[in-house]
Every structure is written in structure tokens, then in C-alpha cells.
Amino acid sequence: MNPVYKKVLRCYEDIQKKFDFSQFRPEVAIVLGSGLGDYASDIKVVGEVGYEEIEGFPVSTVPGHAGKFIFGYVGEIPVVCMKGRVHYYEGYPITDVVLPVRLMNMMGAKVLFLTNACGGLNPEFEAGDFMMITDHISMFVPNPLIGENIEEFGTRFPDMSHVYRPELQQIIRETAKEQEIKLHEGIYCQFTGPVFETPAEIRMAGTLGADVVGMSTVVEAIAANHMGMKICGISFVSNLAAGISPNPLTHEEVQEAANIAAPKFKKLITESVKKFGAVL
């Protein structure tokens, strides 16, 4: 058996010992980015499993990313939330970075809602804004599908024409309008991190069509798309990107901004997910 597939299977077998999926099958998987750590307060929680309890599961080392799966209901929708994700810059193989998304698909999730904090470079964006991801650019990050194709997950050459599903985008767009939350739309570009980008790199990303930059999300979307999951994503613009912001960037600034925006961010996610029944 493919060792990457075997590792996901083993994690699934292990988590089954800690959570009873015969009683609860998540349909939507939500990855919580920086600042959304307390999202569980919006969920009717039915169970939790700490990442460290799952044998072989990659555990994040970033402050503010302490990790666990939270199972529960958003409205009527059964969800699994990742509180904390692993990033490529932490030193994990790229297949470990996407392992959690593959595992959530194995649990039953057919929809993936990705969130993150990012730097804004579109001149119309301000720190504190939200952007719905309509497409992405992978910048120097290894593709998680490199290696022998895992047929159990999907095809060798996946189509990437509609990674972020138009029907989910429409729900999020309408929800933002109803909730009177300003929502941009645009292209997310993933760099490896852990450094913030240089001003020259930000100019390059802008020339290539990016609206925001970050250190996550794209590889997870690639793995989820491979498995045929329906994907959507919202970025929180925690800061203006390097060279646009007059100040040096810090992780603390990103976290502080995200904490301030958390109530709005939570509302946008919750009210959108409640309507996902229509696409499940």
C-alpha cells in the first residue's frame, strides 16, 4: 500500500477509537486560521480529539495553533473543525501538511471551508478586511500530489478549473451581504514562509495577479480538490503586505488583528455553513 495513504488510514483507525463516527458523520470540514481559535463557541460541540492523541498525526508548533479536531453542529450541519493546522514551514513533508484534510474527507466531509490570515496587496484592500478566495497561485510550494498517484484519493492529473466552487461562493457572497460584512473577492497566493515576503516578492505576486499572500491553504485545496471535495475559502487581511505596509510585519500584529476581527469572521462562517445543506 502507498505509505502516504497508509499513514492517513492509520490516523483514521486511531481516531475511530477516540470518537464514534457511527453516531456522528461530519459533512463539512472547517479549517480555522489564525485568530479563529475560539470558533467552537459558535458550535454545538459533540466531541473533541486532540491532535497529539492521534498516532502519527502532525502536531503544529506555532504559538496560537494548539491543535484539535472539534466535532459538532453549525445549525443543522454536522461539521468537523480543525483548531490549528500544520504549515509547510514547520518542516513537515508536504504530504503531512495535507494529511488532516485527507483524514477529514475519510471521516465523511465532502465540503472543505478553508480560512486563513493573510497580507493584502490589492490596493483596494485594507487591514481588517475579508476576501473570499476565488482562485489561487502556488508560489514555490511543493505540490502535495507529487509522487505515485494515490488512486484511492483521486486521478493522476486533476482538473483545477473550479477549485473554489461557484455555488459555495454564491452562498458566502449572499451571506456577507445579509450580514452587512464587507467582502472582497480575489486570488490567494501561497508562499512557503516562515519569512514574510520581501517588497520585491510582493510586487511579483501582484504582477502575477495575486490579491493576498499567505503561508497555507493552497496545498490543502490541491489535496481536497484531488479527492473531489467542494472547496471554499475566506482570507482575513490581517495586515498590508510588505512594501505596502509602512511598518515591519510581526506575527503578534497578525494575531491581534485576527482577534479583533474574530466575531465578524465567525458570523460569516457560521451563517454561510448553515446554508450549505443546499449543496451537500
Give the x-and-dash track for 225-254 against ligand HPA (CB under 6 A). Answer: -------------xx-x-------x----x
Instruction: Work out which of 26, 35, 84, 214 binds ligand HPA, going by CB under 6 A.
Output: 214
- 118/227 with CB nearer ligand HPA: 118
Residues 122 and 259: their CA atoms lie apart, in Å, by 22
Give yes or no: 251 in active site.
yes
Number of residues lying near ligand HPA (CB under 6 A):
13
Residues 6+ apart with CB under 8 A from 74: 28, 30, 42, 43, 44, 269, 270, 273, 274
Give the residue among 151, 37, 146, 27 at the shortest CA–CA distance from 85: 37
Give yes or no: 215 in active site.
yes
Asked if 227 contacts 105 with a C-beta cutoff of 8 angstroms, the reply is yes
Give yes or no: 22 in active site.
no
Give yes or no: 105 in active site.
no
Give yes or no: 216 in active site.
yes
What phi and psi, each to the nearest 5 degrees, are found at residue 233?
A: -155, 145
Helix (H), strand (E) at residue 175: helix 166-178
- 77/237 with CB nearer ligand HPA: 237
Q: Does 117 bind ligand HPA (CB under 6 A)?
A: yes
Residues 142 and 89: their CA atoms lie apart, in Å, by 11
Binders of ligand HPA among 176-205, rule CB under 6 A?
A: 196-197
Asked if 78 contacts 47 with a C-beta cutoff of 8 angstroms, the reply is no
Residue range at the interface with ligand HPA (CB under 6 A); choices 38-46, 132-140, 210-218, 265-273: 210-218
In the set 34, 138, 225, 272, the catalytic residue is 34
> Which residue is at the shortest CB distance from ligand HPA?
119
Give yes or no: 239 in active site.
yes
> Which residues are catalytically annotated?
34, 65, 87, 89-90, 117, 215-216, 239, 251
* Interface contacts to ligand HPA, rule CB under 6 A: 117-119, 196-197, 213-215, 238-239, 241, 249, 254
